């Protein structure tokens, strides 16, 4: 019978974290001493079902072969690609190989033999995954879901933790921009932080917004964020420049409207209402805590996390800009945004003109305190 202590699986969609944790665990299990004879690492990249079957056979053989010099042995099936739900993963040949591997593990490994599996994807409907859950030490690292409310807060916490390890700290605006530009993938976040670390050198350890703009490439999410920041600051020229760039790259006007302009206007309006309740606005944790303590009737209409509670992060990002707007003016801007969205969908008006006119109205509103 399988021993849970000598079977390990590192699984998840976050490729960077999976590879990092699997390597760390392998070093821990081998004591950092892999001479190429005692332990075996088998590449899990399969081009087709025959390749997947052959890999599984190699793993079974490695697990059944005692260490050449005695002692302990770690067999690492590294970066397996054939456990997902695709043509190769669904093949009978692949499934036969995986079943043979499962049977080998279920029969129990020899004394001192440890199995380590790493994969960035696995079909969780299959028997192999269910077996791993019961019989292996499983660590899961999935990418943060950016379609869920509150993802920015999760990414910001991850970035701050990684930056702290490097001895870096962020100005508030710089952290906000970094989160939007670098995205949710740990590998990308680590890469950009290492780049900033080298750029700043030993004498300067605080990351400014100019550093982020200079070093971190602007993704689609970053453009969306920058359009929003320009609108909040009443910088019509910058907003129009970015919008025109997106349209020239093939982005639809409706996409720009619903990804950036409408959320920006909505968050400004909500942040303005919240600011008038007297919640502290100088520190995020204090701000979020104060919102959670508001009466239910004042919280129910605010953006909610799927896990529960108000998604305060986008409101906090807008709080510094709301002093530029009056509440009544923001209400009118929301109505104008709704009208513009309807025009984009139902009329033949020039889409670029519709967006430009709305940007001009928002920028004018920013000057009406």
Count CB-CB contacts under 10 A for residue 185: 17
> Distance (Å, rounded) from C-alpha 263 to C-alpha 29?
48
At residue 8, the pLDDT reads 95
At residue 335, the pLDDT reads 95
> Distance (Å, rounded) from C-alpha 140 to C-alpha 337?
41
Higher-pLDDT residue of 309 and 75 is: 75
Tens of pLDDT, residues 251-277: 899 999 998 999 999 999 999 999 888
Tens of pLDDT, residues 319-356: 888 888 999 999 999 999 999 999 999 998 999 999 99
Cβ distance 184 to 144 under 8 Å?
yes
Higher-pLDDT residue of 369 and 184 is: 184
Mean pLDDT over 308-326 rounds to: 86
Q: What are phi and psi of 53, to 5 degrees?
A: -60, -45
**Residues above pLDDT 90, as percent of the chain:** 51
Q: What share of the chain is helix, strand, coil (3-state, %, to 5)?
A: 60, 10, 30
At residue 157, the pLDDT reads 87
Mean pLDDT over 158-176 rounds to: 89
> Distance (Å, rounded) from C-alpha 327 to C-alpha 332?
9
Which one of 214-228, 291-305, 350-364 scores highest in mean pLDDT?
350-364
At residue 4, the pLDDT reads 60
Candidates 25, 22, 33; CA nearest to 69 is: 33
> Distance (Å, rounded) from C-alpha 82 to C-alpha 271?
47
Cβ distance 264 to 231 under 8 Å?
yes
At residue 369, the pLDDT reads 43
> Which residues touch 182 (CB under 8 Å, ≥6 apart)?
155, 159, 188, 189, 192, 216, 219
Answering whether pTM is above 0.85, one says no
Place of tokens 């970015």: 242
Tens of pLDDT, residues 192-215: 999 999 999 988 999 998 999 889
Tens of pLDDT, residues 19-67: 989 999 999 998 877 666 678 999 999 999 999 999 999 999 999 987 6
At residue 312, the pLDDT reads 86
Reported as a pLDDT band with limits 50, 70 and 90, residue 15 is confident
């Amino acid at each position: 019978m399988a021993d849970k202590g000598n079977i390990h699986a590192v699984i998840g969609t976050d490729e960077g974290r999976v590879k990092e944790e699997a390597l760390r665990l392998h070093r821990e299990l081998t004591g950092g001493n892999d001479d190429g004879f005692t332990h075996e690492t088998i590449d899990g990249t399969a081009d087709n079902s025959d390749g997947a079957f052959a890999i599984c056979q190699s793993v079974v053989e490695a697990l059944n072969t005692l260490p050449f010099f005695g002692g302990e042995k770690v067999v690492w099936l590294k970066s397996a690609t054939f456990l997902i739900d695709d043509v190769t993963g669904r093949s009978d040949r692949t499934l036969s190989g995986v079943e043979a591997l499962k049977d080998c593990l279920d029969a129990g490994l020899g004394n001192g033999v440890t199995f380590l599996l790493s994969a960035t994807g696995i079909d969780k409907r299959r028997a192999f995954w269910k077996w791993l859950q019961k019989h292996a030490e499983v660590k899961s690292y999935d990418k943060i879901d950016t379609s869920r409310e509150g993802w920015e807060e999760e990414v910001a916490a991850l970035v701050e933790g990684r930056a702290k390890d490097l001895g870096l700290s962020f100005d508030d605006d710089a952290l906000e921009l970094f989160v939007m530009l670098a995205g949710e993938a740990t590998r990308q976040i680590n890469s950009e932080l290492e780049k900033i670390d080298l750029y700043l050198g030993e004498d300067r350890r605080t990351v400014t917004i100019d550093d982020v703009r200079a070093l971190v490439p602007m993704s689609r999410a970053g453009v969306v964020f920058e359009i929003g920041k320009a609108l909040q600051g009443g910088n019509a020229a910058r907003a129009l420049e970015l919008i025109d760039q997106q349209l020239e790259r093939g982005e639809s006007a409706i996409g720009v409207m619903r990804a950036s302009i409408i959320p920006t206007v909505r968050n400004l309006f909500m942040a303005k209402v919240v600011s008038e309740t007297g919640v502290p606005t100088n520190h995020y944790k204090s701000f979020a805590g104060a919102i959670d303590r508001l009466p239910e009737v004042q919280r129910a209409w605010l953006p909610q996390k799927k896990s529960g509670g108000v998604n305060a992060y986008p409101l906090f990002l807008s709080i510094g800009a709301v002093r530029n707007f009056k509440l009544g003016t923001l209400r009118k801007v929301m109505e104008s945004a709704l009208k513009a969205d309807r025009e984009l969908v139902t009329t033949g008006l020039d889409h670029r003109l519709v967006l430009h006119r709305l940007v001009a109205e928002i920028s004018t509103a920013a000057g009406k305190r």
